[in-house]
A and B are shown apart, each in its own frame.
Chain A
Amino acid sequence: MEIGLDIFLQVVVWGLYAGCIYILLATGLNLIFGVMKVVNFAHGQLLMIGAYVTFSFFVLTGFNPYVLLAASVPILIILGVSIERLCFRPIMGTGKLNEIFISIGLIYILENVAAMIWTDEWKVIKSPFEAITVTVGSMKIPVDYIIIIITTAVTLVALYLFLKKSRLGLAVRATSQNRKAAMLVGINVERMDMLSFGIGAGLAGAAGTLWVVSGQVFNPYMGSVPAVKAFAIVIIGGLGSIPGAIIGGLLLGIAENFTVFTIGGAWKDAIAFLILIIVLVLKPTGLFGEKAE
């Protein structure tokens, strides 16, 4: 099929927007993995909770859903910190399998608590800016996409500044580089675990809000598919590498949209997995993997 430049650009912009949600999820996963050396398999379920928190506040208050980031992020941070304290802290260091099993238990708990509170029907809300588009050259871009891309960029820059410029961020990076040495220089590594899990969950909450705002449907069991894509990004970009997550997320978002455009919508969810397999076969540590784990 012949694809003109304008269509190409359009697909890239759609891809950037779709990639944003995955980037937020994957960055959180990588931050948690960097510090705790734990992959949180229930990360997609945190996105789902974030989506429902946004939905509830939207129904209750009628605020602009973008403002509700101020509700979903703090609530998810609190949830993340509680999960770290109650579930992961007791089994840290007892073996990777245990950490995987804890995540599985969490998936069951989160999905079904959500189903009890909000029922298991598909829900959707509409963004107030739904009908507004911005014309750039020959492209029509919905203003929602632009807001989502900017929100994600601002969040990531804030995270970057926190990690690079603040003392607390320095401590987080030190813990993720060498846990024992960090302990020796007086860093409370358990507090860093809590902090990184909290931030990771908060990012998932933001992703949940953006999911809802972009008009995508959600139910209590929808968390697995975005989670799988986040895993794919994490593997593609390299486990524990945040720049890898950003580039991997953008690549996946764009690849997905090209798939929809060329092969058909049904393969949209499978393309992440195909890319994943290709990367694993060619470069098992991921494109930006720092070290083999």
Chain B
Amino acid sequence: MLMDEKNRVILFICLAVLAFAFLLPLATGQNAYYLTVLILMVIFIIFASAWNFLTYSGQGSLGHAAFFGIGGYISALVAMKSGLTPYLTIFFGGAGAALTGLFIGAICVRMKEWFLAMVTFGFAVIIQVLVASQFREITGGWDGIAAPPLISSSVPNYLLYEYYSILVIAVAVLLLFRYILQSKTGLAFSAIRENELEARAAGIDPVRYKLFAFMVSAFFAGLAGALEIHYLGYITPEIFGVDISFWPIIYSISGGLGTLAGPVIGTIVITLLWDGLQSLGLTYPRFIIIGVILVLVVIFLPRGLVSLPGEIRKRAPGWMAWVHKRIPR
């Protein structure tokens, strides 16, 4: 297949990153702490990418924790009751999340982003209250329930295998998103995002495509949630917390909204920063630092970290001139 120069560079970078992600745990001697950080990072890459997928269709959600958590609860309950391996039950979790997403999407599909944002935000808060109180019988209330592990901890090197399996899933999800977005569906998404009226005039049914985007996004958010809780081994209503809704947004914005690489880069950079701040003992201040970073990125780098090289190239001559002016000759 013929590829232009830029695409070949991108493919090369992707492969290099993958090879690095594959070799890193081996190079660090399967250090359990690094593996934990890596596993959670890859799970959140799936979650953030699923959230970002929604924005391609011009929609946004402030309550993706609802889908993340529903996926987790359904998968945990199914795995516990049926004894199936979590690698199968995560798809039940995803499907349950997708159905919920369809329901929420159908209510909001004709409304503008403010309503959607408020409804999704409210949905996550309310579902947390319900799961913790009303459905206590099956969900264990605030104490939560145990979730079967992905791979039994009696298997040697089980963390490493869990990491590789999650990595494979993440790569598959990203490839699937790429495939969808480059197909006619992706074109329809951009048409709807840019101008819904014109899209409708061109024969695109916005409602159908928006609901499809919502379902796909909720499905993979649920899948990511299921992976997380099977990895952790338990699930509590805290999975519906406001901060879980906001992480994928923060990752996607800081990386670059509306790009496939954005959520990946954003997740890696912010997770490393987060764990770095944690090891410095800044438990509360790190939330504030992340909040300030978010505000600064929205104001000064609205297209995220992926646009950083371009921005620097654009502004470098100005900076050079500024420096030159101040150097005495």
Q: Report Cα–Cα, A266/B130, bound state, in Å.
A: 7
Q: Are B121 and A105 in contact (CB under 8 A)?
A: no
Complex contact A100–B111 (CB within 8 A): no
Which of chain B's residues has its CB closest to A293's CB? B112
Residues from 273 to 306 in B contacting A, C-beta threshold 8 Å: 284-285, 287-288, 290-295, 298-299, 302
A19 CB to nearest chain B CB (Å)? 17
Instruction: Check B144 for interface membership: any CB of A closer than 8 A.
Output: no
Residue of B62, B118, B257 near A104 (CB, 8 A) is B62
Instruction: Name the residue in A94, A98, A228, A293 with the highest tally of chain B Cβ atoms < 10 Å from its Cβ.
Output: A228
Q: Which residues of chain A are near B55, meaning CB under 8 Å?
A: 97
- Contact digits for B10-31, partner A, Cβ 8 Å, 1 yes 0 no: 0000000000000000000000
Pairwise interchain contact A231-B60, C-beta atoms closer than 8 A: no
B42 at the interface (CB under 8 A from A): no
CB atoms of A100 and B107 under 8 A apart: no
Complex Cα distance A272/B126, Å?
9
- With A41-B121, A104-B246, A106-B291 in contact, is A269–B129 under 8 Å at CB? yes
* A157 CA / B93 CA spacing, docked (Å): 51
Contact present for B292 and A100 (CB under 8 Å): no
Is B113 positioned at the interface, with any CB of A under 8 Å from its CB? yes
Residues of A within 8 A of B108 (CB): 280
A117 to B316, alpha carbons, bound, how many Å? 41
The CA of A115 and the CA of B286, in the complex, are separated in Å by: 12
Say whether A105 contacts B291, CB under 8 Å: yes
Among A252-281, those with CB < 8 Å from B are 266-267, 269-270, 272-273, 276-277, 280-281
What residues of chain A lie closer than 8 Å to B118, measured between beta carbons?
A: 39, 231-232, 234-235
Does B249 reach chain A (CB closer than 8 Å)?
yes
Most chain-A CB neighbours within 10 Å: which of B107, B115, B123, B287? B115
Which listed residue, B117, B126, B298, touches A91 by the CB 8 Å rule? B298
Assembly CA distance A108 to B123 (angstroms): 19
Asked whether, in the complex, the Cβ of B246 is within 8 Å of the Cβ of A107, the reply is yes
In the complex where A39-B114, A97-B257, A234-B118 touch, is A104 in contact with B129 (Cβ < 8 A)? Answer: no
Instruction: Tell me if B125 counts as interface (CB < 8 A to partner A).
Output: yes
Q: Mark A229-240, 1 if CB is under 8 A from B, else 0.
A: 001101100010
Flag if A87 contacts B122 (CB, 8 Å): no
Q: Does B242 sit at the interface, judged by CB under 8 A? A: yes
**Inter-chain contact A280/B292, CB cutoff 8 Å:** no
Interface residue A84 (Cβ < 8 Å from any Cβ of B): no
Residue of A nearest to B114 (CB): A39
A70 in contact (CB, < 8 A): no
Bound CA span A269–B250, Å: 27
Nearest chain-A residue to B117 (Cβ)? A100
Kindly list chain B residues whose C-beta atoms are within 8 Å of the C-beta of A33: 114
A280 contacts B107, C-beta separation under 8 Å: yes
CB-contacts of A84-133 with B (<8 A): 87, 90-91, 94, 96-98, 100-102, 104-109, 111-113, 115-116
B253 A96 Cβ-Cβ under 8 A: no
The answer to the question of A59 belonging to the interface, with a C-beta cut-off of 8 Å to chain B, is: no
Known A113-B288, A228-B121; judge A100-B113 contact (CB<8 A): yes
A284: which B residues are within 8 A, CB to CB?
110-111, 115
In the bound assembly, the distance between CA atoms of A26 and B287 in angstroms comes to 27
Confirm or deny: A217 has a beta carbon within 8 angstroms of a beta carbon on chain B: no
| Chain B residue with the shortest CB-CB distance to A278 | B107
**Are B292's CB and A112's CB within 8 A?**
no
Assess the A108–B291 pair: CB atoms within 8 A.
yes
In the complex, the answer to whether B129 meets A239 with C-beta atoms within 8 Å is no
Q: Is A225 an interface residue (CB 8 A)?
A: yes
Q: Interface range on chain B: under 10, 10 to 19, 20 to 34, or 35 or more?
A: 35 or more
Contacts of A111 in B (CB 8 A): 287
Query: Do B302 and A102 have beta carbons less than 8 Å apart?
Result: no
Could you tell me if B253 and A270 are in contact, using CB atoms closer than 8 angstroms?
no
Does A276 lie within 8 Å of B288, measured CB to CB?
no
B245 CB to closest chain A CB (Å) equals 9
Are B129 and A270 interface neighbours, CB within 8 A? yes
Q: Is B133 an interface residue (CB 8 A)?
A: yes
Check: B307 CB closer than 8 A to any chain A CB.
no
Question: B246 and A109: CB pair below 8 A?
Answer: no
Complex contact B287–A102 (CB within 8 A): no
- Which one of B119, B249, B299 contacts A280 once the chains associate, using CB atoms below 8 Å? B119
The 0/1 profile, CB within 8 Å of A marked 1, for residues 45-85 of chain B is 00000000001000010100000000000000000000000
**B134 on interface, CB distance cutoff 8 Å:** yes
Query: How far apart are the CA atoms of A272 and B119 in the complex, in Å?
Result: 11
Q: Which of B113, B125, B133 has the most CB of A within 10 A?
A: B125
- The closest CB in chain A to the CB of B242 belongs to A224
Q: Chain B residues with Cβ under 8 A from A225's Cβ?
A: 125, 129
Identify which of A98, A108, A270, A272 contacts B288 (C-beta below 8 A).
Answer: A108
Give A87's nearest chain B residue, CB to CB: B295
- Minimal Cβ-Cβ distance residue in B for A266: B133
Residues in chain B within 8 A of chain A (CB atoms): 55, 60, 62, 107-108, 110-115, 117-119, 121-123, 125-126, 129-130, 133-134, 242-243, 246, 249-250, 253, 257, 284-285, 287-288, 290-295, 298-299, 302
Taking A104-B291, A293-B112 as known contacts, 13 extra A-B pairs with beta carbons closer than 8 A to each other, sorted by chain A number, are A39-B117, A39-B118, A41-B62, A87-B299, A96-B114, A108-B288, A109-B288, A235-B115, A235-B118, A270-B130, A273-B122, A276-B122, A284-B115
Shortest Cβ-Cβ A-B pairs, 7 listed: A108-B291, A105-B294, A112-B287, A109-B291, A266-B133, A105-B295, A231-B118
